[in-house]
Amino acid sequence: MAKLNQKLKLKLKYKDDLFKFILSIFIFGIILIFITVVAIIIYYSYPAVSRFGIAFLWTKEWNPPKEIFGAATFIAGTFMVTIIALIFAIPLSLGIGIFLEEYCPKFLKGFFTIIIEILAGIPSVIFGVWGVLTIVPWLRRDIEPFFEAHFSNIPFLKVTENIGYGILAASIVVAFMVVPIIASITKDALAAVPKITKDGALAMGATRLDVIKDVSLPFSYRGIYGGIILGFGRAVGETIAVVLLIGNQAIIPKSIFGVGYTISAMLANTFTFAVISPIYASSEVALALILLLISLIVNIIGRNVLQKVIGGKLSRTQFGGG
């Protein structure tokens, strides 16, 4: 009996080993993809990095004919768009997360969550078109004249050209693109609060607001930080919607209504012209290196924060769009 099975056992073991071997080839593919993207970006940005050094980060001039390249303008634009977008998105998504987890009637919760997930799935080019045909006319017609009339003395709110395009238009649209990320992570973090502690507070006569303020938020604030960090990472890399809305002029904006340029918009607009000159192309790849490093650092931090709260399980709103 045992002898008879020996052959079969060997065959099975052989098959099992083959299976494992094939799967490890696949896993090697994953590692290879990661190494490829990092290596390509580092390899092709090396000429620019070695020529301009760290001063690349704060040189303002970007002059292809003279071969002087500096990223300061684009870094400033990127961070302005990202930070203003987060200023809009954080209160909004905290409100959404709290509403969905604490206040929303049970029978509507599933449906409302799906709406927020659909927002995450809308492609970024459609957000861009929506911004061009809806947000920009609205800013031009209603918002900018109002600010011009009442707030023209405040430095960051000065309206120089009443055209609608600019940092604010891009920020509003990017804000809606990061809202689902932060909102869904906030919701998951609030859902991870033990129900018994909430019920205890409610039984003591606390209102829902007291429960949120004194029980839920202190328990889940780390998760919310993690969500905000991941949202930051997404907003920094946002490309197509920003290209359509920011105005694409290489100046450091002095006001939120001004036009500007972000790193990703610059790459999308000029990279394919740049490849004729090696140092120009290399400078563009150095811009991509900045984006890559920001995204890697931000995601490592955000992942570590979230690991402790919701077990590092990314919800499906992390992907989608583009």
Residues between 162 and 221 that touch another protein (CB under 8 A): 176, 179-180, 183, 207-210, 212
- Judged by CB under 8 A, does residue 279 bind another protein? no
Give the whole-angstrom CA distance, residue 294 versus residue 314: 19
Give the whole-angstrom CA distance, residue 233 versus residue 78: 11
Amino acid at 82: T
Q: Provide the minimum distance between the beta carbon of 69 and another protein in the complex, in angstroms, as a whole number.
A: 16
Q: Provide the minimum distance between the beta carbon of 148 and another protein in the complex, in angstroms, as a whole number.
A: 25
Q: Provide the minimum distance between the beta carbon of 153 and another protein in the complex, in angstroms, as a whole number.
A: 29
Q: Provide the minimum distance between the beta carbon of 218 and another protein in the complex, in angstroms, as a whole number.
A: 16
Q: Provide the minimum distance between the beta carbon of 254 and another protein in the complex, in angstroms, as a whole number.
A: 26
Residues 14-43 close enough to bind another protein by CB under 8 A: 15-16, 18-20, 22-27, 29-31, 33-34, 36-37, 40-41
Give whichever of 250 and 292 is closer to another protein, judged by the CB atom.
Answer: 292
| Sequence-separated (6 or more) residues with CB below 8 Å from residue 300 | none
Residue 273 host element (H or E): helix 263-274
Q: Name residue, tokens 């969500």.
A: 227
What are 135's two structure tokens? 């947000």
Backbone angles phi, psi at 163, to 5 degrees: -120, -10
Give the whole-angstrom CA distance, residue 300 versus residue 230: 9
Residues 134-163 close enough to bind another protein by CB under 8 A: 134
Give whichever of 58 and 103 is closer to another protein, judged by the CB atom.
Answer: 103
Give the whole-angstrom CA distance, residue 250 versus residue 260: 6
Give the whole-angstrom CA distance, residue 239 versus residue 199: 45
Q: Provide the minimum distance between the beta carbon of 111 and another protein in the complex, in angstroms, as a whole number.
A: 10
DSSP code for 315? -
Residues 58-97 close enough to bind another protein by CB under 8 A: 91-96
- Judged by CB under 8 A, does residue 109 bind another protein? no
Give whichever of 124 and 255 is closer to another protein, judged by the CB atom.
Answer: 124
Give whichever of 19 and 221 is closer to another protein, judged by the CB atom.
Answer: 19
List the one residue from 68, 79, 102, 202 that touches another protein (CB under 8 A).
Answer: 102
- Judged by CB under 8 A, does residue 273 bind another protein? no
Count of positions on this chain that bind another protein (CB under 8 A): 97
List the one residue from 7, 106, 195, 313 that touches another protein (CB under 8 A).
Answer: 313
Residues 243-272 close enough to bind another protein by CB under 8 A: 244, 264, 267-268, 271-272
Q: How far is the CA of 14 from the CAs of 1, 7, 17, 18, 214, in angstroms?
A: 20, 11, 5, 6, 59
Q: What is the largest CA-CA distance in the chain?
A: 95
Residue 308 burial (10 A CB sphere; 0-12, 13-18, 19+): exposed
